[in-house]
Chain A
Amino acid sequence: MTATVPPDERHEGAPAGRPERPVGPLVARAVVFVIIAGAFAWGASGLDASWARLRSAPGDGWAIFRLMWPPDFATELDRGVIGKVLESVYIAWIGTILGAAISLPLAFLASNNVSPSFIRLPIRQLFNAIRAVPELIVAVILIAITGLGPWAGALAIGLHSVGTLGKLSSEEIESSDRGPVEAVEACGGRWISRVRWGILPQVMPVIISYWLFRFEVNVRASAVLGMIGAGGVGAELISQLNFRNFPEVGAVLIITIAVVIFIDTISSAVRKRIIAGGAGDDQSRMAVLFGDLVGHRGG
């Protein structure tokens, strides 16, 4: 981390004028290391991970992948796997549309430069609450009530997306430049005009790129939802795995991977275009975007 100092200059009683090496950071590093090692040991203790298991696990995993080769596309195509993968994509799309449509107005109401605190704080907490429940759990409950099917999956994904999209969008709104809002105020504009002309043009490109990013995440989520009966490719994977038809499993996996990568590639290309469409260079905007996704700015 720091440039290595020759050992003979490190000993105590360094020549006059040279500061002692500070011990604070070293202690802090040691403490962090101990905490992580301790947490790891505690975690591992509960996982039934004997040495024998650890040693055989990679081999067991590899064996499964070996069994999948060569993948049996013919059977899977007969069983309509393409339709099932597409169904997952449909579910993800509708879920994202629902999430985007509901989160956008809520995000404005959750921002401190638009909305008073008695409206803002409850909506914020709502976002946090929604985000705390995984979409799969939401789907478990919805399926219990509405019955199996893709619509339950889309609803679950949409609901969960409201939480993340709402939070990210409102952070973007709060960090928008106040200047245009002041200009609208100075023209005698109302609240709605401040939002529509002062803030919306600034934040929309980034918010749309969040939507696209969420769609990428949702495609994976909806594939998983099939595993509990909410429509899509997950059900096919589960049933083939349960019957240990590994070549078919291989085919399902490869098709899923291909579709997911295809969608990721298109979506990220579109995202880059949307973000680059504004002022500022592409690279730094993407850095900001990723900073937003992990909850800090300018990273």
Chain B
Amino acid sequence: MIELKNVSVTYRGGVKALRNLDLTIDDGEFVVVVGLSGAGKSTLLRVLNGLVPATEGSAKVDGIEVVGASNATLRMVRSRIGMIFQTFNLAERTTVLNNVLMGRLAMVPSWRSTFGLWPAADREIAMQALERVGIVEKTYVRASNLSGGQQQRVGIARALAQQPTLMLADEPVAALDPVTSRQVMGDLARINSDLGITTLINLHFLDLAQEYGRRLIGLRDGELVFDGDIADVDDDTFREIYGRSITAGDVLADTDT
């Protein structure tokens, strides 16, 4: 359960990324966030795990206040929120397994993780996460030797290894080709329906959003301009979010999947 009340974020230098946002997301929802770049999508996701501190308002994740929380509380909240990045953000020079085990950092004593002495139970969790995204055969390969799609799956496995209640994905397919994009989106949708993990995804392409999303949130200039069922989205909604009509550039090239 996520509750945002009157959340605003002003960056140093005066840029307002979010303006008085109110939002409630129930457990197990699959929500797609759309908007122009700079509309505040990334900021919204990062407010939820405290990577970007909200300057105003209240943000509660599973009943715990994130805004102004102590470092210890933040670590605790973050340990239950998986995050997936546009640029994957893997430690490329180490193995896939080590990358996925990073999802266990908050649950393992620092001295053990620092020396790579991961407990067997955590290794097992990491293995299962890799199996769920279907690249367990790459366990001992260096992350830099994987393709972009495979790297993003490692990113998803790392988030899964946290055994999260909430999954945040920041433009997870923006760096991938159309076929791989659909596979990754499929993975995320399956994880949401199989495990019931609440999922929040920033997307650029509207057709992907309509294909996989159930609830759509539209942001424009840091303000909430649309929040509703994806089936209700029409050309007017689109114009509201993007400030213009839909064009071919807004949909992902059609491919057989």
Contacts and interface: CB of A to CB of B under 8 A. Distances in A.
B110 A190 contact: yes
A187 B105 contact: yes
Contacts of B105: 184, 187-190, 193, 197
A187 B89 contact: no
Contacts of A14: none
B114 A188 contact: no
Contacts of B74: 188
Contacts of A278: 92-93, 144
Q: DSSP class of A's interface residues: helix, strand, loop or mixed? A: helix
A201 interface: yes
Interface string A79-113: 00000000000000000000000000000000000
Interface stretch (A157-165, A175-183, A231-239): A175-183
A74 interface: no
B79 interface: yes
Contact of A183 (B76, B79, B83, B110): B83
A278 B83 CA distance: 25
Nearest to B92: A279
Contact of B91 (A186, A190, A192, A197): A197
Contacts of A190: 75, 105, 110
A201 B94 contact: yes
Contacts of A138: none
A160 B151 CA distance: 42
B2 to A, nearest CB: 16
Given A186-B81, A189-B105, A201 B89 contact: no
A185 B51 contact: yes
A201 B162 CA distance: 21
A71 interface: no
B78 A193 contact: no
A204 interface: yes
B92 A188 contact: no
Nearest to A205: B93
B21 interface: no
A36 B79 CA distance: 61
A111 to B, nearest CB: 17
A297 interface: no
A189 B106 contact: yes
A182 B91 contact: no
B110 A193 contact: yes
B139 interface: no
A188 B158 contact: no
Given A197-B91, A197-B98, A186 B110 contact: no
B78 A186 contact: yes
Contacts of A279: 92, 144
B158 to A, nearest CB: 7
Nearest to B74: A188
Contacts of A201: 91-94
Nearest to B88: A179
A193 to B, nearest CB: 5
Contacts of A188: 74-79, 105-106, 162
18 contacts: A179-B88, A180-B89, A180-B91, A183-B155, A185-B51, A186-B168, A187-B104, A188-B77, A189-B102, A189-B106, A189-B113, A193-B114, A197-B91, A201-B91, A201-B93, A202-B91, A277-B93, A279-B92
Given A183-B158, A197-B105, 6 more contacts: A186-B168, A187-B79, A187-B106, A193-B102, A202-B91, A278-B92
